[in-house]
Amino acid sequence: MSNYIRLCNNLDSLSLTKIKEYLPAYLDEKISSKMSTVDILLELTDKEVDFREKRAAEINMSISNFPYRKTIDDFDFSYQPSINKAIILDLKSLRFLETFDNILFIGSSGVGKTHLATAIGMEASSKRVSTYFIHFQTLMSKIKKAVSEGRVDTLIKNYGKYKLLIIDEIGYLPIEKEYATIFFQLIAARYEKHSTIITTNQPLSKWGDVFGDPVLANAIIDRLVHHSTIIKITGKSYRIKDKFIDFEQTDEEKGDE
């Protein structure tokens, strides 16, 4: 068996996929140019590292449970002038993760809260930060099941471990105090240890109604806002944006008749 075949077999055994893929071209380059052995090995290992990082980021992205893939670049800031774009771009830098800060997006339905939360989450996930996205009502269902099965501690440990947890759509439906108490335990477990992104259609002053107890709601809010960026979005829903355009075009068409 030739040394080249042995080398290829070793690369297979070590799962050095990209090095094996690029090896023939680099060997040809070595013969026809003045590339040093060190330069060849450096470029080959750079390609392998880059491949592995991209693959790991994609795997991380796939298990982060995002509802869709949206980026900051996809967001139409001109349609929501109440949002300070500079703040969003700073959040995109993920600097907030270093200080375990939270982010709260507050606004009515359709103004882009979930889009921005997802986009920041995707940025974190692409950098291999452990990230998980979950709808609030789905989390409540899992809490109810954990209570019935006696697995509350396991649930809190599971959702408490993520460096970034995104909880979407708090406030659409009220919840029972028993389950709100467990939600508080989760938020308390993450407090000053990991970052949480919240989206809600209810002002914080109304969370007492959502959680069935103003004292409990205040305790949840206290831990979320202590180290946080709060972004209040006021504007029209993106879901009716195209409908308004169509309506306006229809009016113009009528005026031309």
Mean pLDDT check: name the lowest of 3-17, 111-125, 149-163, 218-232. Answer: 3-17
Confidence (pTM)? 0.80
| 56 has a pLDDT exceeding 90 | no
- What confidence score (pLDDT) does residue 241 get? 63
60/77 Cα distance (integer angstroms)? 28
In whole angstroms, give the CA distance from residue 64 to residue 246.
Answer: 36
- Residue 60 has what pLDDT? 87
Residues 210, 217 contacting (CB under 8 angstroms):
yes
Asked if 192 and 100 count as a contact pair (C-beta separation under 8 A), the reply is yes
Tokens of 162: 């993520």
Quick: pLDDT tens for 202-257. 999 999 999 999 999 999 999 999 999 999 999 777 766 655 444 444 444 444 44
Burial classification of residue 1, based on how many CB atoms lie within 10 Å of its CB (0-12 exposed, 13-18 middle, 19 or more buried): exposed
147-172 per-position pLDDT tens digit = 999 999 999 999 999 999 999 999 98
Distance CA 46, CA 88 (A): 32
